[in-house]
A and B are shown apart, each in its own frame.
Chain A
Amino acid sequence: MLFTAVIVVPFVMNVATSFTRWSGVGTPTWVGTQNYVRLFADERFWTSFRNNVALIVAMAIIPTVIGLVLAAALFDYIGKRFGPRTASALRAAYYLPQVLPVAVAGVVWGWMLHPTYGAVNQIFGLKVNWLGDPDYALATVMAVMVWFQLGYPVVIFMAGLQRADPALHEAAEIDGASWWRRFWHITIPQIRPEIFVVLLTCTIAALKVFGPIFVLTRGGPGNATMVPSYFSYLNFFQKANIGYGSAIATVLALIIVVVTSAFLFLQERKP
């Protein structure tokens, strides 16, 4: 019951509002698909979408790739030659950013990257406006998100590697397979389920990303770091374009459901 009231009803209301023009007060006016027509012609929406793809790269793809190499290196080299304590200490260091609320991570970096007194500029003797220059803003936010996300795949992949059969690795080593070949042909196939889970959860997180954008850049400068979630927030609470904001949120929800189903479908098909 409660579930219906808090999730189903609001979602249906949201979809319904997306076919209206409404400022939040008074009666909504039915406008059919007008919001969607406007959305697909809106340059800002497409920009926000392109930025979102960049954030998927920064939050899902890069951390997964680096995480795989790190997890394998920690597990194969460090864990075996320097003992498991060294490996878990390093793993904890990589994981620490993940324990922060994402908004707090934004506050930390907002301070570090501040154009006048920020630590980064002072240390390197630079005067770069990392978050305020349209040429750098998106890349900076991407770098912050890589820092934030990296620990998650490392921890999950290391847990997966513990399950893997060491005999395969030893056999390949005796046959003279190089570390990279073993990594590619043995390690990766063995933890394929974990890779799927990490890619899926991180992609969804990237599609929903809001906190860091709000704290670091508010979508700016211009639209350099605009993302759909912030774009819908802007329409809801600052421009009072509830209908248009709902249309953006509905499209975002659809994309997330489609991406999730596609991932789950692919995972089912894999042997």
Chain B
Amino acid sequence: MRRYPILAALTMLAVVMLFPFVIVTFNAFKTPAEYSAGSPLSPPQGLDLDGIIAFWTRVDFGEKLLNSLVISGSVAMLAVVLSVLNAYALGIGRVRGRLWILVLFLVANTLPQEALAYPLYYLAKAAGLYDSKLSVIIVFTVIQAAFGTYLLSAVLGQFPKEILEAARMDGAGRFLALWRIVVPISRPTLSVLVIFFFIWTWNEFFLPLIFLVSNDTQTVPVALGVLQGEKYMDATMSSASALLGIVPAVAFFLIFQRTLTRGITVGAIK
């Protein structure tokens, strides 16, 4: 039988893939002396929290987490609301030229942010929004909603017309029909979108790096990315910083796992 060698090879690969996570965790809990004395492979002898605490207070990590949560949370909610309204108008309201509008949204989605970055930076400065969370929230709400509209209008386009007809007969206006009928029925798709928008926004790096220059507005990835390789970061502190970046991401993955695996093919369209 060839089955065991194959299992062994695949398990080996899994170990290699997980290796960095394990190593980072081990060494985040070591003292600098313990790190230089032993091999990075050995588990820590005790739980030394100095590296993590030192990094946490140095960059005020709690504030970074809060910034990321506020930005990603508002973008996720606002972008889904905007997507639903757009898609309702396009998919059910049958706006004139809807195909071209959809193509435009799709192209907008594939455009590199580099091609928008400088004008956005310039406009944000002109509007007095530079270096504020609000600027990033507005920009990502629109970028995510471009994708959401594209996706949802395909979903809503197949929405059974009979239900809407019936609602109209009963005297429901367009917004009442949207709020009381369309939204509840498409709730599974909408919740997948909320989670995806949240995680995508959390993971963004380029535009937040440009917009959020001062310490008290930065998000988690920006703060970590900018501090990488700073002089005062010793081995265990760097490893602590990596761990602090990993933990929220893995936590979201575990919390949202069920929805994510259901929706991952939805994400594949992006």
Q: Judge whether B13 is part of the interface by a CB distance below 8 angstroms.
A: yes
CB neighbours of A236 from chain B (8 A): 117-118, 121
Name the contact of A11 in the complex, choosing from B23, B115, B246 (C-beta under 8 A): B115
Q: Judge whether A60 is part of the interface by a CB distance below 8 angstroms.
A: no
Q: Which of A1-46 contact B (CB under 8 A)?
A: 2-3, 5-11, 13-14, 17, 24
CB neighbours of B13 from chain A (8 A): 70, 94
Give chain B nearest CB distance to A74 CB in angstroms: 7
Report how far A245 CA is from B40 CA in the complex, Å: 42
CB neighbours of A109 from chain B (8 A): 20
Main secondary structure of the interface of A (DSSP, over half): helix
Report B194-206 CB contacts with A as 1/0, cut-off 8 Å: 0000010011111
Q: Judge whether B258 is part of the interface by a CB distance below 8 angstroms.
A: no
Interface locus among B58-66, B163-171, B182-190, B228-236 = B228-236
Q: Judge whether B215 is part of the interface by a CB distance below 8 angstroms.
A: no
Give chain B nearest CB distance to A211 CB in angstroms: 4
* CB within 8 Å for A10 and B116 given contacts A96-B250, A100-B249: yes
Q: Which of B21, B39, B245 has the most CB of A within 10 A?
A: B245
Name the contact of B245 in the complex, choosing from A2, A93, A101 (C-beta under 8 A): A101
| Interface contact A6-B112, CB-CB below 8 Å | no
Give chain A nearest CB distance to B225 CB in angstroms: 4
Name the contact of B203 in the complex, choosing from A102, A151, A248 (C-beta under 8 A): A102
Q: Judge whether B120 is part of the interface by a CB distance below 8 angstroms.
A: yes
Q: Judge whether A250 is part of the interface by a CB distance below 8 angstroms.
A: yes
Q: Judge whether A48 is part of the interface by a CB distance below 8 angstroms.
A: no
Q: Judge whether B162 is part of the interface by a CB distance below 8 angstroms.
A: no
CB neighbours of B204 from chain A (8 A): 101
Give chain A nearest CB distance to B116 CB in angstroms: 4
| Interface contact A246-B209, CB-CB below 8 Å | no
| Interface contact B245-A201, CB-CB below 8 Å | no
Report how far A11 CA is from B119 CA in the complex, Å: 8
28 contacting pairs across A/B (C-beta < 8 A): A6-B142, A11-B116, A13-B122, A14-B118, A77-B6, A78-B6, A86-B7, A93-B18, A99-B252, A100-B203, A100-B246, A101-B204, A101-B249, A104-B242, A107-B228, A109-B20, A111-B24, A111-B235, A111-B241, A117-B234, A117-B235, A119-B27, A197-B269, A214-B225, A215-B225, A253-B115, A256-B111, A257-B110
Binding site for B on A (CB under 8 A): 2-3, 5-11, 13-14, 17, 24, 70, 73-74, 77-78, 81-82, 86, 90, 93-94, 96-97, 99-104, 106-112, 114, 117, 119, 122-123, 147, 150-151, 155-156, 159, 194, 197-198, 201, 204, 207-208, 210-211, 214-215, 228-229, 232-233, 236-237, 242, 245-246, 248-250, 252-253, 256-257, 260
Q: Identify the 7 closest CB pairs spanning chains A and B, nearest first.
A: A104-B245, A10-B119, A93-B14, A13-B119, A119-B40, A101-B203, A117-B235
Other than A2-B141, A8-B108, A112-B23, give 19 A-B pairs with Cβ distance below 8 A: A3-B105, A3-B142, A7-B111, A11-B116, A70-B13, A100-B250, A104-B224, A108-B20, A108-B21, A110-B229, A110-B238, A111-B235, A114-B238, A155-B261, A208-B114, A246-B115, A246-B118, A248-B114, A252-B114
